[in-house]
Amino acid sequence: MERRRFLGIAATGVAAASTMSLASCGSGGPGGDEVTLKLVAAEYGAPGKPDSSQHYWEKLARAFEKKHPGIKIDVQTYLWDDVDAKVAEMVKEGKAPDLAQIGAYAVYAAQDQLYSADQLLTISAQANFIPAIAAPGEYRRVQYGLPFTSSSRLLFYNKTLFERAGLDPDAAPESWAEIKAAAKALKAAGVKIPYGLPLGREEPQAEALLWMLGNGGGYTDKVGSYTIDSNNNVETFDWIRKNLTGAGLTNNAPGETNRRDIAEAFTKGEAGMIFGHPTFMREIRAKNIKFGISKRLPGREGPMEATMGVVDWMMAFKQNGRRKEIGAFLDYVFQDDKVLEFAEQYALLPTTTSAVQKMTAQRGSTELKPFLDQLQTAEFYPAGKTSWAAVNQAVKDNIGKAADPGGDPEKVLGKIQNEAQKASSME
């Protein structure tokens, strides 16, 4: 999975409020028995290292338990490669966690296994979500996925390599034509990978969407129908094939190259341009690479109003019937100071209006500002469709072929569209 992340629900909003707040700090289960909530969460750092998410959650859980003696929190974090599958396994075995912070929720919502947002949060808390971020958390117009963390994507470029190629190090490419021109100059200057194009199986759905958005395309239309083989999308991959891969301006075999491989090449000073998320800045700085970031997504004709956004979700399972205790914990987890602490630690973005305002006020005009600005209009995966898991897999299996110099984008995208229609017919 692509990864990326951060959370947010404002302190004033996320109260478990009138219907679900605890009767007292000492309240636990029926008859006053102690309740233990099981939380499974994604790992945003490195297991066993100081930046591990396990440390963040353990610290937060212990602080919560002091305020709520009747509730214990059992936390387990897993790598992104494993966490969704781990939760799915637990659910299948009839041992669903009370809370899961993972990448997909729609399948569980469709099976009526989750509490809806209005069963956990106040109206003001729900209204505080940035609309573009909240919408992908809905299944059949009911919100089940609570936006826990978010990020947007912009173009990163190596200033040192730009200078070597005679390019202005303070001017990020703003259009596809400028990306192509910069890539040609970088190649002439001996740069190994002028533009890094990761369409391997790790996260090609992100790279593909960024390019499709740049030409007015995407995975779905405004009413949620799949439009993967639209004329705009076919034209996008024709352009990539003719102007980048076919011209030798990318890494070899993009369809076999993963995002982490391209990210590593950039941090080694071997790639001139790539699309990246806020957390990537930390990795680049650790390698002392001078870099710049575009203010907006470069599109076919110029800068785009929107870029791609990614959301990871918090969800609450009904199985153990602990809505009251879950609501109290979410009230604590989603307070602005907790939200911003997580954001600072992992260089990620808030998902609520109040937290964005606070981050902007605290940070002012910083490198995160372009990413924050994009959140209001970002385009997200159609996570609210139960078919998306199958469609996403079809994209991973095939999309790289659409960028091959000798490939046939119309045929490749048509194949994915057929898979999408089959999957959506079963929703």
Res. 337: pLDDT tops 90: no
Q: Report the amino acid identity of residue 310.
A: V
User: Using an 8 Å Cβ cutoff, are 228 and 420 in contact?
Assistant: yes
Q: Which one is predicted more confidently, 151 or 368?
A: 151
Q: DSSP state, 135?
A: G
pLDDT value for 353: 82
Q: What residue spans of 139-230 are helical by DSSP H?
A: 159-164, 176-188, 204-213
Confidence of residue 103 (pLDDT cuts 50, 70, 90): confident
pLDDT of residue 32: 59
| Chain-centroid distance, C-alpha 109 | 20
Instruction: Give the integer Cα–Cα distance in Å for 204 and 254.
Output: 10
The residue behind tokens 């199958």 is: 390
| 148 compared with 376, residue with greater pLDDT | 148
Q: Which one of 23-32, 46-55, 92-101, 331-340 scores highest in mean pLDDT?
A: 92-101
% of the chain beyond a pLDDT of 90 = 68
Placement of tokens 């129908």 in the chain? 225
pTM, to two decimals = 0.84
Mean confidence (pLDDT) of the chain: 89
Half-sphere exposure of 137 (CA within 13 A, CB side): 31
- Reported confidence tier of residue 370, pLDDT bands at 50, 70, 90: confident
Common-topology check for domains 17-152+309-375 and 154-307+395-424: yes
CB 156 within 8 A of CB 266: yes
- Residue among 95, 91, 143, 96 at smallest CA distance from 120: 143
Asked if the model's pLDDT at residue 303 lies above 90, the reply is yes
323 by DSSP, 3-state: which? helix
Average pLDDT over residues 351-379: 79
Confidence band of 128 (pLDDT split at 50, 70, 90):
confident
6 or 358, greater pLDDT? 358
Q: What is the domain class of 154-307+395-424 according to CATH?
A: alpha beta
Residues in the chain: 427
| CA 67/CA 69 separation, integer angstroms | 6
Domain range summary for the chain, segments of one domain joined by + = 17-152+309-375, 154-307+395-424
Task: Say whether 21 sits in a helix, a strand or coil.
Answer: coil
Q: Residue 263 has what pLDDT?
A: 95
Spatial separation of the C-alpha atoms in residues 420 and 427, rounded to whole Å: 11
Task: Give the mean model confidence (pLDDT) for residues 108-116.
Answer: 96
Residue 142 DSSP label:
E
CA separation for the pair 282, 279 (Å, rounded)? 6
Is pLDDT at 17 greater than 70 in this prediction? Answer: no
Amino acid identity of 408?
Answer: D
**Hey, what amino acid is at 116?**
S
| pLDDT reported for residue 180 | 98
pLDDT of residue 11: 31
Alpha carbon of residue 19 to chain centroid: 31
Mean pLDDT of 155-177: 98
DSSP annotation of 38: E
3-state secondary structure 334-392: CCHHHHHHHHHHHCCECCEHHHHHHHHHHHCCCCCHHHHHHHCCCECCCCCCCCHHHHH
Q: For residue 142, what are the CA distances in angstroms to 67, 118, 134, 197, 294?
A: 31, 9, 10, 36, 35
* CATH code linked to domain 17-152+309-375: 3.40.190.10
Q: Is the pLDDT of residue 157 over 80?
A: yes
15 has pLDDT over 80? no
DSSP label of 118: G
Q: Contact 39/73 with Cβ under 8 angstroms?
A: yes
Q: Given a cut of 70, is residue 28 above it in pLDDT? A: no
Task: Tell me how many degrees the CA angle 279-42-199 measures, rounded to the nearest 5.
Answer: 55
What pLDDT, on a 0 to 100 scale, did the predictor assign at position 364? 55
308 near 209, Cβ under 8 Å? Answer: yes
| pLDDT-derived band at 291, boundaries 50, 70, 90 | very high
Mean pLDDT of 252-267: 95
Work out the angle between the directed axes of helices 323-333 and 53-67 (0-180°, nearest 10). Answer: 110
Q: What is the pLDDT of residue 419?
A: 97
The region of weakest confidence among 24-28, 159-163, 257-261, 331-335 is 24-28
Q: Is the pLDDT of residue 367 over 80?
A: no
